[in-house]
Amino acid sequence: MKTIHTIKVLLALAIAGINAVNAQDSLPSWNDTAPKKAIIAFVEKVTKEGSADFVLPAERIATFDNDGTLWAEQPMYFQLFFALHQVKILAPQHPEWKDKEPFASLLKGDVKAALAGGEKAILEIVMATHAGMTTEEFEKSVKDWIATAKHPTTGRPLTEMVYQPMLELLTYLRANGFKTFIVSGGGIEFMRPWTEKVYGIPPEQIVGSSGKTKFEMRDGKPVLVKLPAIDFIDDKEGKPAGINSYIGRRPIAAFGNSDGDLQMLQWTAAGSGQRFCLYVHHTDAEREYAYDRESNIGQLDKGLDEAKAKGWTVVSMKEDWKRIFTYER
Amino acid sequence: MKTIHTIKVLLALAIAGINAVNAQDSLPSWNDTAPKKAIIAFVEKVTKEGSADFVLPAERIATFDNDGTLWAEQPMYFQLFFALHQVKILAPQHPEWKDKEPFASLLKGDVKAALAGGEKAILEIVMATHAGMTTEEFEKSVKDWIATAKHPTTGRPLTEMVYQPMLELLTYLRANGFKTFIVSGGGIEFMRPWTEKVYGIPPEQIVGSSGKTKFEMRDGKPVLVKLPAIDFIDDKEGKPAGINSYIGRRPIAAFGNSDGDLQMLQWTAAGSGQRFCLYVHHTDAEREYAYDRESNIGQLDKGLDEAKAKGWTVVSMKEDWKRIFTYER
């Protein structure tokens, strides 16, 4: 077994060498502005063996928000498109929805009225439409839906409304021994069926909001039934708690785009040694969307101030990204 | 980057080849009885590319109970030794414990009376002694304790009260592309500080029982404070729920030793394709302990019947293991 270990070590060193050479080419969709330089400088510091800043590969944990950080979140969270789809499919089994908000408005096609209840209404819709079935049935419903779901404005598959520069960043970090995680306010079981294919992040590296489940035997076969009860909300103060619960290590790098990510970035920054915190700032009304302090979705207000005060990296999509979505050629 | 990928693939194939040759020598502490043969047959089936039983490496999830499966659990769960240690340290801050069971008995040194309340009393002790501090402080207290904690009968460090054949099994599975997880009724934050060193299993691959935490700022620094409230009990029906929540994939192999693991084994067995379920049966009163259907700790009753009915592998420690603890030479 020693031989295998030696080969592994040699290969790891070889890969590290190749990566170092390729570093500048690993982020081709990033302009050569400050954010790209800051990312590369950080990665080179923590991967340089023998230096005071060196971090063992096992501790190279990087956490990414999903909505608005890895894929778009306008005109509304994509998980809501799924929920609306599910409301229509499930409505015949829920006659009470006709008189109950936010479902009543949704079924009338008035999405705006339904979402007037804010984050709480959203979670209610999500939990109600994500429950009452087994985890396997739910997984199938997500897979079926995402295979054809299109964005209302661009007409592109939602899985192509993904930011190309962030995909490159994920790959670059992994090539440098980082383990990449998603830590999202979105539903954990909503993300897991497709994140491996789209981002290269496996189910066990997804942290998200969740509903309770119940183990039971159906015809002698064990199933987990999804209950209409919230178990955990992975947003704001929930993000460090989710990281502690699911990962059990403090990240050394964290990436977000909203005030919902602020506590995750604070938690990451508060560790010892080199730390990297980055906000994606939606500044490109032409190629994507422009929103921050006043937005209902993905509000970035306190976070923007804190980023400035703490010297965190802020990416201006307009200035710092050559290409935005994966479908652009 | 293509070159790197090619090298990786070639190396993976080379390692796979070496492992196949070494398979028989990877489990030297196992007798050449049925369990060892069943393990090797299973691993060879699911790793044979092109065969109908082949399982992609990403889906080779193996889950292990901890207490009584990877390390001993007699004369009581080792986490309780830690809790007793903590009760003594924390008692001055909790004058009310003097009149409150199970703490009162503990402080008088009457462990038996304290534990008369069963699993519920145990969890109460654990939660009370594991709360009221930050996650970092708690981690340090576990590390400090386990560095010197000894077993009351053998006098050995608790980290050597680990089953050598199971360590070999973990290594053998990982060498064959499996990702190994612990899914234990024990505290997730109690295990994480030492499982990587002892079992080679990193914090993010530990699932266990947990308490709630609260994010707060202390002197401008974010901390997570451990609350005296149970968040999740990872036992019995909780194990499949924990697997679903933390791992998000169904294991293809599961290893336990008690009725507390039964639902995890059922959940594992109920997937499609090749599945492997194993019970460690404590049958060796001389070298370890002998207990099953009547035991208060690690009761194995229903599980033993179901293993027989379903043809699961049952390891008799006495018959199937050459060596038990890692400290035996």
pLDDT in tens, B15-40: 554 444 455 589 999 999 999 999 99
* pLDDT tens digits for range B293-328: 999 899 999 999 999 999 999 999 999 999 999 999
Q: Which residues contact A307 (CB under 8 A, 6 or more apart)?
A: A265, A277, A279, A313, A314
- The answer to whether A180 and A252 are in contact (CB under 8 A) is no
Residue A154 has pLDDT above 50, yes or no: yes
Number of inter-chain CB pairs under 8 A, A vs B: 110
What confidence tier does A109 reach under pLDDT thresholds 50, 70, 90? confident
DSSP state of B178: P
The minimal CB distance from A215 to the residues B11, B18, B237 is found for B237
What confidence tier does A115 reach under pLDDT thresholds 50, 70, 90? confident
List chain B residues with CB under 8 Å of A8: 11, 15
pLDDT at A112: 87
**How far A77 CA lies from chain B's nearest CA (Å)?**
22
* Percent of chain B surpassing pLDDT 70: 93
Residue B150 has pLDDT above 80, yes or no: yes
- Cα(B135)–Cα(B138) distance, integer angstroms: 5
pLDDT (mean) for A57-84: 96
- Cα(A132)–Cα(A121) distance, integer angstroms: 18
Please state the pTM of the whole predicted model: 0.91
What confidence tier does A117 reach under pLDDT thresholds 50, 70, 90? confident
Inter-chain residue contact A263 with B215, CB threshold 8 Å: yes
Helix axes A118-129, A78-90, angle to 10 degrees: 50
If you compute the radius of gyration of chain A from its CA atoms, what whole number of angstroms results? 21
pLDDT at A23: 55
Inter-chain residue contact A22 with B1, CB threshold 8 Å: yes
List chain A residues with CB under 8 Å of B204: 61, 179, 204-205, 246-249
- Proportion of chain B in helix, strand, coil states, percent, rounded to 5: 50, 20, 30
Burial (Cβ within 10 Å: 0-12, 13-18, ≥19) of residue B126:
buried
Residue A21 has pLDDT above 50, yes or no: no
The minimal CB distance from B270 to the residues A192, A205, A222 is found for A222
Q: Which residues contact B208 (CB under 8 A, 6 or more apart)?
A: B66, B182, B183, B184, B185, B186, B187, B188, B189, B190, B191, B234, B242
Work out whether the CA dihedral B246, B247, B252, B253 comes out positive or negative. Answer: negative
Inter-chain residue contact B263 with A215, CB threshold 8 Å: yes
Which whole-number Å values give the CA distances from B97 to B80, B85, B92, B199, B320, in the listed order?
A: 17, 14, 9, 35, 45
The minimal CB distance from A249 to the residues B203, B231, B245 is found for B203
What confidence tier does B50 reach under pLDDT thresholds 50, 70, 90? very high
Residue B51 has pLDDT above 90, yes or no: yes
* pLDDT tens digits for range A180-235: 999 999 999 999 999 999 999 999 999 999 999 999 999 999 999 999 888 999 99
Residue A3 has pLDDT above 50, yes or no: no
Looking at every residue in chain B, the average pLDDT score rounds to 92
What confidence tier does A322 reach under pLDDT thresholds 50, 70, 90? very high
Question: Judging by DSSP bridges, how do beta strands B290-291 and B276-283 pair with one another?
Answer: antiparallel
pLDDT (mean) for A138-148: 97
Candidates A140, A176, A224: best to mutate against B (most CBs of B within 10 A) is A224
What confidence tier does A264 reach under pLDDT thresholds 50, 70, 90? very high
pLDDT at B12: 53
ipTM of the complex model: 0.90
Q: Which of A233, A229, A289, A222 lies closest to A71 in space, CA to CA?
A: A289
- Cα(B177)–Cα(B47) distance, integer angstroms: 8
Inter-chain residue contact A246 with B204, CB threshold 8 Å: yes
Count how many Cα atoms sit within 13 Å of the Cα of residue A71 in the half-sphere of its side chain: 24
Inter-chain residue contact A249 with B58, CB threshold 8 Å: no
Candidates B134, B137, B245: best to mutate against A (most CBs of A within 10 A) is B245
* pLDDT tens digits for range B60-79: 999 999 999 999 999 999 99
Name the token pair of B296: 């208060």
* pLDDT tens digits for range B274-299: 999 999 999 999 999 999 999 989 99
Residue with tokens 């909203």: A258
The minimal CB distance from A241 to the residues B3, B215, B248 is found for B215
pLDDT (mean) for A76-104: 92
pLDDT (mean) for B6-19: 50
- The answer to whether A270 and A254 are in contact (CB under 8 A) is no
**How far B104 CA lies from chain A's nearest CA (Å)?**
31
List chain A residues with CB under 8 Å of B140: none
- Proportion of chain A in helix, strand, coil states, percent, rounded to 5: 50, 20, 30
pLDDT at B231: 93
pLDDT (mean) for A51-62: 97
pLDDT (mean) for A61-66: 98
Number of residues written out for chain A? 329
- The answer to whether A64 and A182 are in contact (CB under 8 A) is yes
Q: Other CB atoms closer than 10 Å to residue B272's CB: what's the count?
A: 7
Question: Judging by DSSP bridges, how do beta strands B206-218 and B221-232 pair with one another?
Answer: antiparallel
Least confident of A137-146, A253-262, B105-114: B105-114
Residue A139 has pLDDT above 70, yes or no: yes
- The answer to whether A204 and A210 are in contact (CB under 8 A) is no
pLDDT at A24: 56
